[in-house]
Amino acid sequence: MSASVSFEFFPPRTPEAQERFRSTLERLAPLEPSFVSVTYGAGGSTRDSTLETLREIGAHSSIPRAGHLTCVGCPREEVDATIRDYREAGISHIVALRGDMPELGSAFVPHPDGYQGSVELVEAIRRIGPFEVSVSAYPETHPDSRSQAKDMDLLARKANAGATRAITQFCLLNEQIVALRERVERAGIGIPIVPGIMFSPNLEGLSRMADRCGTTIPPSYAERFEGLDEDPATRRLVAGMLAVRQIEALRREGFEEFHLYTLNQAEVIIAACRIADLTPRARERQPA
């Protein structure tokens, strides 16, 4: 099969960031991603800006759009209203995530009038409209899970509820991503596993994120950023080159779909797609 790529953005927070985002979108559009998604803050904190960003994308491009959605901290009525807002905005794809509590490290507690987790959220989305639904998968066991078996059971339930693909949490250990795919195949879960590829040039911020989601940062990865604290341009190059290396290794393992966590960057994403043969021209040369 030929390769495909999708991009994840976050809503710009200032007018200046909004202008930069428009430029980023314009520059990335020629890469013809299969879709672009926009993140959704904890407890719906970016609900309006997420929808505004999705509308902005629709106004300036024909790229298929996906809105993220969580159920943490929100009653069912509010979540359902967001799903309907997405449908009315012409968005037919939702990335459905349980979400984390606003207080870092706190155990998940459902809203008393809310959905109990990601399975109920997927069911609600499919009940309200014929959406494509992407969900999350964890190559390394989810921090709230007691075992890989529990993770597989949850993923199977999300697939049975109507999920159409699983995008992995960022993972820097390819053997873990390959092992996840093998577990999914053994379990008979019939949705594709799409590796999520990280492009963060900020190792400190990435480490905080890794702590929250149970992701390992190998010493060999961290070493690449040593001595670059005051050199953000070189850090971006390093992050991009490490991402390309990971994509190329995963392609040798048979993966052909990749979801890039862009952090609203343009140059490094364009360069990585060119080097990793994920441009439209390169994809045309590849066997179907």
**Among 8, 56, 123, 140, which one carries the catalytic annotation?**
8
The reply to whether 284 belongs to the active site is no
Residue among 45, 26, 44 at smallest CA distance from 36: 26
For the chain, give the number of residues. 288
Contact 197, 171 (CB under 8 A): no
Q: Would you give the DSSP letter of residue 120?
A: H
Q: How many CB atoms lie within 10 A of CB 271?
A: 16
Q: Is 280 left (phi over 0), alpha (psi -120 to 50) or beta?
A: alpha
Please compute Rg for the chain using Cα positions: 18
Q: Would you give the DSSP letter of residue 214?
A: T
Residues in Cβ contact with 53 at an 8 Å cutoff, skipping those fewer than 6 apart? 9, 11, 12, 21, 38
Contact 195, 171 (CB under 8 A): yes
Element (H or E) spanning 178, and its range? helix 174-186
Catalytic center residues: 8
